């Protein structure tokens, strides 16, 4: 499986290609300029918007889901998301950096209606990707991750990597977020691909005993 990262604004979009299929994980914040940039990035890799099998939304914040709404409307692309993310909910921050980010995001509208419900354990082989959906609530109520069979985790907002890898500084429920992170420690994860910040080896975050 081939993994490509596209950075639009402060957020990452990942293209997964395997067995002749292309899948997006997250989709940017939408809007004409960002949607055009995403389409250009796809075209550079020989992918037309019509070729996309599905877009997986790891959590329903605007900077992850905005493009998916455009693709569904314009090209009929199906969206996989957790139905618990269909409602707007307030986000909180921890630490100085997290509280500042939460304050800046206070007016952000969240919530998305999926075409395919992202249930725990859902296999993605039907879309050409050997991977499984994980339910990872906390960052949002319906946050999910995608774990490939060879150990690549697309974690959405559960973890981030700005200056160094850490559990997210933003969450709707930090108790749930911590439980999701503890669960991930028990899984055979090699690389982590977050929504925000650079991909990193999972063992880097495991070395920090404060998490």
Strand 200-201, strand 191-194: pairing: antiparallel
Contact 8, 38 (CB under 8 A): yes
| Residue 26 is assigned to a structural domain of this protein | yes
Residue whose C-alpha is closest to residue 191's, from 158, 148, 144: 148
Inform me whether the pLDDT recorded for 139 exceeds 70. Answer: yes
Inform me whether the pLDDT recorded for 74 exceeds 70. Answer: yes
Q: How many CB atoms lie within 10 A of CB 160?
A: 25
Torsion, CA 106, CA 135, CA 131, CA 155, rounded to 10: 40
pTM of the model: 0.91
Q: At what angle do helices 62-75 and 32-44 cross, to 10 degrees?
A: 70
Give the span between the Cα atoms of 205 and 112, in whole angstroms.
30
Residues 6 or more apart whose CB falls under 8 angstroms from that of 165 comprise: 159, 192, 194, 197, 200, 204, 205, 208
Q: Point out which residues pair with 180 in neighbouring strands.
A: none
What percent of the chain clears pLDDT 90, i.e. is strictly above it? 69
| Residue 91 is assigned to a structural domain of this protein | yes
Give per-residue pLDDT as tens, 28-61.
988 899 999 999 999 998 899 998 989 999 998 8
Q: How many CB atoms lie within 10 A of CB 48?
A: 11
| Residue 154 is assigned to a structural domain of this protein | yes
Give the span between the Cα atoms of 185 and 182, in whole angstroms.
5
| Residue 108 is assigned to a structural domain of this protein | yes
| Residue 156 is assigned to a structural domain of this protein | yes
Residue whose C-alpha is closest to residue 196's, from 164, 174, 173: 164
Give the span between the Cα atoms of 164 and 124, in whole angstroms.
30
Query: Would you state the pLDDT for residue 10?
Result: 83
CATH of the domain at 68: 3.60.15.10
Residue whose C-alpha is closest to residue 57's, from 85, 16, 97: 85
| Residue 106 is assigned to a structural domain of this protein | yes
Give per-residue pLDDT as tens, 97-126.
667 666 666 545 557 889 999 999 999 999
| Residue 211 is assigned to a structural domain of this protein | no
Domain tally for the chain? Answer: 1
| CA dist list (Å): 84 to 1, 4, 87 | 29, 28, 7
| Residue 24 is assigned to a structural domain of this protein | yes
> Which residues span the domain enclosing 153?
2-206
């Amino acid at each position: 499986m081939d993994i490509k990262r596209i950075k639009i604004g402060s957020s990452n979009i990942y293209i997964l290609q395997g067995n002749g299929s292309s899948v997006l994980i997250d989709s940017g914040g939408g809007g004409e300029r960002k949607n055009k940039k995403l389409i250009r990035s796809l075209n550079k890799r020989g992918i037309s918007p019509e070729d996309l099998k599905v877009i997986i939304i790891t959590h329903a914040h605007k900077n992850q889901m905005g493009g998916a709404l455009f693709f569904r409307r314009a090209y009929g692309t199906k969206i996989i998301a957790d139905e618990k993310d269909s409602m707007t909910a307030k986000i909180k921050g921890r630490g100085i950096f997290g509280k500042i980010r939460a304050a800046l995001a206070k007016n952000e509208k969240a919530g998305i209606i999926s075409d395919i419900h992202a249930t725990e354990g859902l296999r993605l082989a039907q879309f050409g990707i050997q991977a499984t959906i994980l339910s990872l609530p906390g960052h949002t109520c319906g946050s999910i991750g995608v774990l490939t069979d060879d150990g690549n985790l697309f974690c959405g907002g559960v973890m981030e990597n700005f200056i160094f890898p850490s559990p997210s500084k933003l969450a709707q429920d930090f108790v749930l977020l911590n439980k999701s992170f503890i669960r991930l420690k028990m899984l055979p994860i090699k690389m982590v691909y977050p929504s925000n910040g650079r991909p990193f080896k999972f063992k880097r975050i495991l070395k920090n005993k404060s998490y």
